[in-house]
């Protein structure tokens, strides 16, 4: 009779759950992003220069709640037009006390004129009314302190119509560890 080999139990845990269990996963959304009639709107994840963390984008969604086709541009490290408004984010693990606070900021601007400048226009999506665009990035979009992930919404094909959108983000943050040389 053969010998029984005992193997250790191994569980595969999704990154988002692992980060949430550690109190490092956050979600937030920008609501009532009005645009159209010659204006645009945007929301971004902004990693301040002094944050001490790297930002890992896990998921984003863009929902059109109006009746106009819309275009969504995704920019890395662009300077966005308008004055940003900060939005509150929440950790996804509400069991940890005190609740973890994100270092990364979510910001938005509505009815802004102009386009992003500098940075990199990484990709563009077009959508029809009442559609939600969703992409799970799995943390592969990584932004160090002083950088941002900008989602810019407009309706250039129907510029006379008003638009309204929601943009949501899920991300985690990891502290930057400085290594001695």
More confident residue, 15 or 2: 15
Looking at the whole model, is its pTM more than 0.75? yes
Q: Is the peptide bond before 7 cis (omega within 30 degrees of 0)?
A: no
Tokens of 68: 């106009």
Tell me if 30 sits within 8 A of 106, measured CB to CB: yes
Q: What is the pLDDT at residue 179? A: 76
Q: Is the peptide bond before 98 cis (omega within 30 degrees of 0)?
A: yes
Domains defined for the chain, CATH in brackets = 21-87+97-175 (2.60.120)
Q: What is the pLDDT of residues 83-101, one digit of tens each?
A: 999 999 999 999 999 999 9
Q: What is the pLDDT at residue 67? A: 74
DSSP 3-state assignment of 177? Answer: coil
Sequence-distant (6+) residues with CB within 8 A of 23 are 91, 93, 96, 100
pLDDT band at 129 (very low <50, low <70, confident <90, very high): confident
**Phi and psi at residue 5, to the nearest 5°:** -95, 125
Q: Please tell me the least confidently modeled range out of 72-81, 91-100, 153-162.
A: 153-162
Tell me: pLDDT of 163 over 80.
yes
CA angle 99, 100, 106 (to 5 degrees): 115
Tell me: pLDDT of 39 over 80.
yes
Q: What is the pLDDT of residues 43-56, one digit of tens each?
A: 999 999 999 999 99
Q: Please tell me the least confidently modeled range out of 72-81, 140-149, 159-168.
A: 159-168
């Amino acid at each position: 009779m053969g010998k029984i080999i005992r193997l250790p139990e191994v569980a595969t845990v999704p990154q988002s759950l692992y980060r949430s269990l550690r109190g490092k996963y956050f979600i937030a959304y920008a609501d009532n992003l009005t645009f159209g009639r010659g204006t645009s709107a945007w929301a971004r994840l902004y990693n301040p220069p002094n944050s001490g963390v790297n930002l890992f984008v896990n998921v984003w969604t863009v929902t059109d709640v109006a009746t106009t086709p819309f275009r969504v541009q995704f920019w890395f490290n662009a300077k966005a037009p308008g004055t940003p408004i900060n939005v509150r984010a929440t950790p996804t693990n509400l069991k940890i006390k005190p609740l973890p606070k994100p270092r990364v900021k979510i910001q938005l601007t509505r009815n802004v004129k102009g386009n992003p400048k500098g940075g990199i226009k990484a990709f563009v999506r077009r959508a029809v009314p009442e559609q939600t665009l969703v992409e799970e990035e799995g943390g592969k979009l990584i932004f160090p302190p002083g950088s941002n992930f900008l989602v810019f919404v407009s309706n250039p094909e129907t510029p006379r119509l008003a638009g309204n959108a929601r943009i949501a983000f899920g991300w985690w943050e990891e502290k930057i560890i400085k290594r001695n040389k």
